[in-house]
Amino acid sequence: MIYRIFDIFFLFFHSALTLFNLFGWIWKKIRLLNLLTLIFTGLSWFLLGFIVGIPGYCPLTDWHFKILEKLGKHDLPNSYIKYLADRITGFDFNANLIDNLTLSGFLIALIISLTLNLKSYFKQKRKSNLL
């Protein structure tokens, strides 16, 4: 029973974080937080992934998949996004396609978030210099 609760928790939390990474830059008040979560995601995927020897490593995926294994689910994909897409739709998506879409979405969101945060920073700096 407890593993089922953890499964639901990770399903909602990890999915919400993923959506926040992709679209959090839309709201001006939380853009900096969005940029920080994108940076931490990138550090996890690339730096932590390099350290543990798994490119694209995410501790949330690792923990969630360990819970799913306790629930008897095996042959899980390497990617949480593929797992989520398969789970929601019932289809078996191509892993390479999902990985490419995931990386593209991440990079697009990072570029937008970084651009908007830098724009706000320089606008604020300009405003403070005028005072």
Could you report the per-residue pLDDT of 61-73, keeping only the tens digit for each?
A: 999 999 999 999 9
* 3 pLDDT more than 90: yes
Report pLDDT for 128: 81
pLDDT at 50 over 90: yes
Q: Yes or no: say if 109 and 38 are a contact pair by the CB < 8 Å rule.
A: yes
Cα torsion at 67, 37, 31, 24 (round to 10°)?
-30
Question: Angle between the 2-23 and 31-42 helix axes, to the nearest 10 degrees?
Answer: 110
Query: What is the C-alpha separation between 110 and 122, in angstroms, rounded?
Result: 18
pLDDT above 70 as % of the chain: 99
pTM of the full predicted structure?
0.91
The whole-angstrom distance between residue 30's C-alpha and the CA centroid of its chain comes to 16
What the block records as the tokens of 65 is 């998949």
Q: Which two tokens stand for residue 8?
A: 């639901």
From CA 66, how far away is CA 37, in angstroms rounded?
23
pLDDT exceeds 80 at position 129: no
Domain regions of the chain by residue span: 2-130
Per-residue model confidence as pLDDT tens digits over 9-34: 999 999 999 999 999 999 999 999 99
Q: What is the pLDDT of residue 127?
A: 82
Determine the pLDDT at residue 38.
98
